[in-house]
Amino acid sequence: MAFALVALLGFSHFHLTHAVSCRDADTTSGLVKGFVNETFPNVAQYLGIPFAEPPIGARRWLPALPKSKEHGVIDATRFGPACPQYRADATLAPNAYNVDVLQFSPEPLSLQSEDCLSLSIWAPRKAAADQSLPVIIWLYGGGYGEGGANVPYQNPAPWVERGGKHIVVSVNYRLAVFGFPNAAGLPLEGQNLGMLDQRLAVEWVRDNIANFGGDPHRITLSGQSSGAMSADHYNFAYPNDPIVSGFIFHSGTATLDFLFPDFQHTNFTYVAQHFGCSNSTATAELDCLRTINSSAIISFLETYSNTGSSPTLAFVPVVDNRTLFSNHTARALAGNFSRKPALIGNTADEGNSFVLPYNASFGPARSDADATTVGLFMCPTIQTSHDRYAANATTFRYLYAGNFSNVSPRWWLGAYHSSDLPMVFGTYSIARGNGTAFQKDVSEKMQDYWLAFAQDPVGGLPALGWESYEGGKGEGVMFGKDEVVEQKIGEARLDAPCDGLMSNGLPPPPR
């Protein structure tokens, strides 16, 4: 895989013409110069702002340090590189994301570097420094192994352009073996480096967002899939100092079991041994692998994965009792989380894009896809909703059921995992056609609700007729089903797929 750092002025899908500079913003990292372009003339874009010192060399596999203030001006007119990663080869290991909808991957994927800890900000162009707009911080998904701020379907410029009432910040955090090494030479509390990166970014936003017109007291932490899981883990990790005022979880919560126990650290050692780092001590093993180029490590992992080698090498978060706990229901019922309001939901066909082997013509086996949708995604959402209700924490539930051919190009994809994101970000028209008037209506309705939550996590949605979760007795909101933009859906119906599987002792919802 090539790792050349190429100049990228925004996404190619959002071609920038006659870009002009906008108001400079002073930050703890330095003076930041962004830009405005003709495509989104009402959006000030500040891309690739470093929030941490580069985690390279001897600082590879150590917690990141806050970025020291630079002299001069930081050029924020280009995305910073994504953190080292790879995408499964479409020939050797095809799936929906590398064959049908590449818009969920960073573009270009070759723009990578270990020096990747940056964030990007999209703010209304005319926002005054003291305007105090609500802020949404975005954590991308990708199984803790993929993602970045430069993902086309997750570019919030269309959303900010349309409303002009909020700010979005997208955070790059370390991934795979660089973010979650599970190495014997590291202390337990230093294994989940990607999650520590996320906290450092939130602190940077708290300290600097006012200079972009944002309100540091109205920050919503949002994410999808592993990004949503990360946001909920954050919810438990910082119960007394969450900084944020609310959470949005797309298709993932802390109760989604995404652990691959490797107590003997064999995965990291396997990689080290491949590069000749078979040293007598765990510290020597770590120091040796620090000398290996990051692109070589990623290339090895890419080849190993694409050829189906065994055993599987997984680099994901571990239970460290600092950033990730194992007993979330017990902790929730004891009130050991931030208790901030949350907007939680799923797509109706989460599993359609996951079940393998990939078959472009016929899709996945229906029973396997449905089992994945329910067991891997819906049940954790329901469990989290029950836990939060028992702890008297405000929660709003949604289900996305839209099926639009420009986002779901195969007949069998439906409302698959991630398909709600182009609707919220307003990017559904960047590939395979502009979409329909109905699709536009669904997108804008979702955007309006998400904004209302960010503006007031407690009262914003009830003011629009969307009441908080009532333990199975109330109603959530479903989007895009049967040519209806939005409709109420009973919580009992939302919970029904997992009746009898919950572990918190709450009575089953009424019929």
Read off the DSSP letter of residue 376: I
**Alpha helix segments (H runs only) across 17-135:** 96-99
Q: Rounded to 10 degrees, what is the CA torsion of 39, 43, 48, 50?
A: 170
15 carries an active-site annotation? no
Count other Cβ atoms within 10 Å, centred on residue 309.
10
CA 39 to chain centre: 25
| Identified catalytic residue from 385, 417, 418, 429 | 417
Q: In the chain, how long is the greatest CA-to-CA distance?
A: 64
| Identified catalytic residue from 350, 475, 486, 491 | 350
Within 242-328, strands assigned E span 246-250
Contact between 477 and 466 (Cβ < 8 Å) = yes
Name the residue with tokens 């209700």. Answer: 389
Contact between 156 and 423 (Cβ < 8 Å) = no
Count other Cβ atoms within 10 Å, centred on residue 291.
11
Q: What share of the chain is helix, strand, coil (3-state, %, to 5)?
A: 30, 15, 50
How many secondary structure helices (H) and strands (E) does the chain include?
14, 15
Q: Length of the chain, please?
A: 511
250 carries an active-site annotation? no
Cα separation, 352 vs 339, whole angstroms: 33
| Identified catalytic residue from 105, 225, 251, 443 | 225
350 carries an active-site annotation? yes
* Catalytic residue ranges: 225, 350, 417
